[in-house]
């Protein structure tokens, strides 16, 4: 009896074994549910977060002791960080903003340092003065506690934001979620 | 042209900043900018050449050398001298450089020396890990106006502002005055050894001459010469001291003003690894000192103009590794007390620290340092790496701790200690010139009357209203340098001091009581009153000097009555 088994046979055997051990494929309803954005899955939660986000007031009062030259500091973007059931009101500083070929490239830094900075955050863009979200995209941790976003933009937004500069007031607020599975 | 890809990145960064896509300047945000460019903007060709550069350590090193030698030329401003080091430090954390071995040494440090801060972690009772290396790097000011950025730790912005104000004050403010005062009183001076010895000999000679004039034999005709030598020598020594002090003070002020302006226009980055969130302000003193050191690193040429600053900076630069500091600093530069014992213990256990700058407080003494040992158990010195690798067993033959405490009330004192500007022998040596100069100032009118005699006075009214006295009233403002001598055959000869006198007819005069000589046939109006110069030096009066006036008794008794 020959012990030699061809590679093809071995691969078939391994594939058959994997199929038997694999969990069952999710049902279509579950797939649809997974594909839905979180604000549709938990609309009440989203509503309360948006209300809280809308209540964040950030405005600088310059009580300067000495005359200073005009500075290029940009406008802080009101932000709500949601993780492990807790919410933290803060703001982010937009460091880079580029809209090209219908894609948004954004880098930002949190104004308030948080403990255990997560590698990825889900950034939900909420338009100023609206309760509907614009879109969401993953923000990946980069160097020096900066996060970067690279995502496609809806056509209208791509058109509107094309001329936007980092020193302009941003037309959005952010909800940053570190826990994708929970509300 | 090599490393074109870096130029491509650099100009993309500059252009993006100009067009408002980037918030931070190309230099200040170089790490994040590179990451963005490398992830999204770099072309296939760029990525390929970057990969080729990173393939071997030697090409990686070539890139770093190029960065320091050639790219640095792009930054023309003098304050951008630290730019390549900063860029290397920032790039070391982003792909692909975070995988490059050549960037290893820039990953945790900028490779600059700095005064260590003593920051206790949690409930630590003081260990070697509490001695934290601090580095400061000066960059051109950020367009966002951030003056001081912490790296590797967090602290209240107000603490940085205080440390920065203290550094500003000692460069151009009240702190500089304190520094100069300390230096004048007890600081090392920029003399060569032989010149210093000559100056000391000069002061001893001045003291010797003073003693000779006070206690020595009557100098007679030599008095003028001795006085001239004394005044000439003292003036020369004072001139040298004044020229050195004034010129060095002026240079220190100018250099300080220049460095203060640089500090104002710079963005300072303070690095301290460990990710600590600082509570309390005891790191203020090392922060201030490191800010000063960062200025020197960015512009070493600026300090060369002033001997004081140059000495301080070069000593601190070369020996910073062996210094640690602790103390809450105020904006005016004063150092307030802190918890000291665990910090001393931490320094004792650290094998690099030899000097510690502390506030002036009771616990910071050599005695307290010695007392730390038994209370804390065995002091465990960090064994060296070689000893560990060779498996060597180390036995500590305990000796007197080699840590030296330098107590300071003000940042200026820390500068004096760090720059080895304090000279205890100089403090003692300054006592003699101070005493001698005090005596000389007191004796100057006397010496002046010897070297440049006052004009001879003329006898004026009033005459004495009493027949028992003869008055020689003189029109002089310097009566103590004149005396009157009565020489007569009828009256007994007498000498009287000229001094201001009151009464019904106040005047500057000599009053001579008249005593008749028995058995003489002379007339009572026979005789003269001579006006003589008095030569004196402080408490001593020498033999009378020249006679500058002669008046008959008849003239003096009738003056004003004609």
B94 vs A contacts (CB less than 8 Å): 142-143
Q: How far is B339 from chain A (nearest CA, A)?
A: 28
Q: Does A145 touch chain B (CB under 8 A)?
A: no
Q: Is residue B205 pLDDT above 90, yes or no?
A: yes
CB B289 within 8 A of CB B408: no
Q: Are A117 and A143 in contact, with CB atoms under 8 Å apart? A: no
B58-80: average pLDDT: 79
pLDDT, position B377? 45
Question: Using CA atoms, how far apart are residues A182 and A85, in angstroms rounded to an integer?
Answer: 9
pLDDT for A66: 52
Q: For residues B84 and B73, what is the distance between their CA atoms, to the nearest angstrom? A: 10
- By 3-state DSSP, what share of chain A in percent is helix, strand and coil, each rounded to 5? 25, 35, 40
pLDDT band at B378 (very low <50, low <70, confident <90, very high): very low
B39 touches A: beta carbon within 8 Å? yes
A96 touches chain B (CB under 8 A): yes
Mean pLDDT over the full length of chain B? 87
Cβ contacts of B75 within 8 Å, gap of 6 or more: B27, B83
Report the phi/psi class of residue A117: left, alpha or beta, with left for phi > 0 and alpha for psi in -120 to 50: beta
The residue assigned the tokens 């000593």 is B315
Q: What are the structure tokens assigned to A90, written together?
A: 């803060």
With a cut of 70, say whether residue B438 has pLDDT above it. yes
- Interstrand relation of B404-408 and B148-154 (parallel, antiparallel or unpaired): unpaired
Over its length of 183 residues, how does chain A's per-residue pLDDT go in tens digits? Answer: 566 788 899 999 999 999 888 888 888 888 887 778 888 787 788 888 888 887 777 665 555 555 555 456 778 888 888 887 788 888 888 999 999 888 999 999 888 766 677 888 889 998 877 677 888 899 998 877 889 999 998 888 888 888 888 888 888 888 888 865 555
**Which range among B103-107, B109-113, B411-415 shows the weakest confidence by mean pLDDT?**
B109-113
What count of Cα atoms within 13 Å lies in the side-chain half-sphere of residue B162?
22
Chosen from B32, B37, B87, B158 to mutate, greatest number of chain A CBs within 10 A? B32
By DSSP bridging, strand B355-359 and strand B323-325 are: parallel
Asked if B125 and B345 count as a contact pair (C-beta separation under 8 A), the reply is: yes
Asked if the model's pLDDT at residue B368 lies above 90, the reply is no
Q: pLDDT-based confidence at B75, cuts 50/70/90?
A: low
- Whose tokens are 């948006």? That residue is A50
Which candidate, B168, B164, B167, B133, places its Cα nearest to that of B151?
B133
Give per-residue pLDDT as tens, B3-15: 889 999 999 999 9
Q: Is a pLDDT exceeding 50 seen at residue B552? A: yes
Going by pLDDT thresholds of 50, 70 and 90, the confidence category of residue B217 is very high
For position A128, what pLDDT does the model report?
72
| DSSP structure class, residue B103 | G
Count the Cβ atoms, other than its own, within 10 Å of residue B388. 11
Structural domain range at position A133: 38-58+74-177
In a domain, A108, yes or no: yes
pLDDT at B375 over 50: no
- Asked if the C-beta of A165 comes within 8 angstroms of chain B's C-beta atoms, the answer is yes
Residue A124, CA distances (Å) to A49, A161, B78 in order? 11, 16, 44
Q: What is the pLDDT of residue B380?
A: 47
Residue in A74, A95, A113 nearest the CB of B32: A95
> Would the pLDDT of B300 be above 90?
no
- 8 A C-beta contact, residue B472 and residue B555: no
User: H or E segment at B228?
Assistant: helix B223-264
Kindly state whether residue A25 falls inside one of the protein's structural domains.
no
A73 and B144: CB-CB below 8 Å? Answer: yes
Instruction: Give the tokens for residue B337.
Output: 């007390």
Tens of pLDDT along B137-173?
A: 988 887 666 788 888 888 877 778 899 999 999 999 8
* Residue corresponding to tokens 């405490």: B405
C-alpha R_g of chain B: 38
ipTM of predicted complex? 0.78
CATH topology (fold) of B131-382+404-426: Ribosomal Protein S5; domain 2 (3.30.230)
Q: What are the extents of the domains in chain B?
A: 4-107, 131-382+404-426, 459-558
Q: Does position B303 have pLDDT exceeding 70, yes or no?
A: yes
Tell me if A164 is assigned to some domain.
yes
pLDDT at residue number B372: 75
Local structure of A11: helix, strand or coil:
helix
- E strand or H helix at B451: helix B424-451
Chain-chain contact of B31 with A71 (C-beta, under 8 angstroms): no
The reported pLDDT for the residue numbered A62 is: 55
Residues 6+ apart with CB under 8 A from B413: B182, B335, B406, B407
Whether A122 is covered by a domain: the verdict is yes
Q: For chain A, what is the domain count?
A: 1
User: pLDDT tens digits, residue range B255-267?
Assistant: 999 999 999 888 8
């Amino acid at each position: 009896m020959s012990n030699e088994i061809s590679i093809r046979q071995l691969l078939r055997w391994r594939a058959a074994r994997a199929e038997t051990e694999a969990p069952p494929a999710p049902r279509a309803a579950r797939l649809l549910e997974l594909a839905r954005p979180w604000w549709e899955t938990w609309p009440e939660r989203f509503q309360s977060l948006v209300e809280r986000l809308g209540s964040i007031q950030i405005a600088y009062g310059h009580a300067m002791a000495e005359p200073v030259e005009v500075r290029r500091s940009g406008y802080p973007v009101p932000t709500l960080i949601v993780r492990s059931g807790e919410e933290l009101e803060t703001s982010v500083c937009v460091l880079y903003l580029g809209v090209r070929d219908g894609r948004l490239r954004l880098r930002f830094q949190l104004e308030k340092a948080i403990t255990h900075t997560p590698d990825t955050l889900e950034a939900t863009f909420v338009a100023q003065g609206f309760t509907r979200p614009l879109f969401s995209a993953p923000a990946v941790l980069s160097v020096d506690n900066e996060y970067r976003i690279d995502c496609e933009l809806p056509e209208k937004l791509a058109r509107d934001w094309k001329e936007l500069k980092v020193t302009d007031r941003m037309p959005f607020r952010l909800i940053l979620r570190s826990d994708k599975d929970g509300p | 042209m090599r490393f074109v890809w870096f130029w491509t990145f650099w100009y993309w960064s500059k252009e993006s900043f100009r067009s408002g896509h980037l918030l931070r300047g190309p230099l200040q945000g170089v790490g994040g900018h590179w990451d963005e460019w490398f992830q999204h903007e770099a072309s296939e060709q760029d990525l390929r050449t970057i990969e080729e550069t990173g393939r071997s350590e030697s090409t990686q090193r070539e890139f770093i050398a190029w960065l320091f030698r050639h790219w640095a030329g792009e930054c023309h401003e003098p304050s951008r001298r630290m730019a390549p080091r900063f860029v290397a430090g920032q790039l070391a954390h982003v792909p692909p450089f975070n995988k490059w071995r050549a960037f290893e040494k820039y990953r945790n440090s900028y490779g600059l020396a700095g005064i260590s801060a003593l920051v206790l972690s949690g409930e630590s009772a003081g260990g070697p890990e509490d001695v934290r290396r601090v580095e400061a790097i000066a960059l051109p000011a950020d367009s966002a106006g951030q003056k001081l950025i912490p790296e590797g730790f967090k602290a209240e912005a107000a603490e940085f502002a205080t440390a920065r104000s203290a550094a500003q004050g000692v460069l151009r403010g009240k702190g500089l005055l304190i520094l100069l005062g300390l230096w004048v009183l007890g600081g090392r001076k920029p003399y060569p050894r032989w010149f210093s010895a000559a100056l000391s000999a000069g002061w001893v000679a001045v003291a010797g001459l003073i003693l000779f004039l006070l206690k020595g034999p009557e100098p007679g005709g030599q008095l003028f010469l001795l006085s001239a030598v004394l005044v000439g020598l003292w003036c020369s020594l004072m001139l040298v001291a004044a020229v050195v002090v004034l010129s060095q003070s002026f240079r220190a002020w100018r250099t300080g003003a220049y460095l203060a302006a640089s500090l104002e226009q710079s963005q300072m980055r303070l690095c301290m690894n460990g990710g600590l969130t600082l509570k309390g302000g005891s790191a203020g003193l090392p922060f201030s000192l490191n800010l000063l050191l960062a200025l020197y690193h960015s512009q070493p040429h600026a300090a060369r103009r002033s001997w004081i600053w140059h000495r301080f900076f070069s000593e601190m630069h070369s020996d910073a590794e062996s210094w640690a500091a602790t103390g809450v600093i105020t904006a005016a530069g004063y150092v307030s007390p802190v918890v000291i014992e665990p910090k001393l213990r931490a320094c004792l256990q650290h094998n690099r620290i030899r000097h510690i700058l502390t506030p002036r407080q009771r616990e910071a003494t050599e005695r307290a340092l010695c007392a730390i040992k038994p209370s804390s158990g065995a002091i465990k010195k960090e064994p060296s790496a070689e000893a560990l690798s060779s498996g060597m067993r180390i036995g500590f033959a305990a000796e007197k701790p080699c840590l030296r405490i330098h107590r300071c009330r003000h940042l200026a004192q820390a500068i004096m200690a760090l720059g080895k500007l304090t000279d205890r022998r100089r403090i003692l040596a300054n006592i003699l010139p101070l005493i001698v100069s005090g005596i000389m100032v007191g004796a100057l009118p006397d010496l002046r009357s010897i070297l440049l005699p006052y004009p001879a006075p003329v006898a004026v009214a009033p005459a004495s209203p009493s027949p028992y006295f003869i008055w020689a009233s003189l029109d002089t403002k310097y009566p103590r340098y004149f005396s009157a001598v009565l020489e007569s055959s009828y009256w007994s000869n007498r000498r009287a001091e000229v001094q201001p006198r009151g009464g019904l007819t106040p005047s500057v005069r000599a009053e001579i009581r008249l005593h008749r000589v028995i058995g003489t046939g002379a007339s009572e109006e026979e005789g003269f009153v001579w006006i003589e110069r008095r030569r004196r030096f402080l408490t001593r009066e020498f033999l009378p000097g020249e006679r500058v006036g002669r008046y008959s008794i008849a003239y003096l008794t009738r003056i004003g009555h004609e």
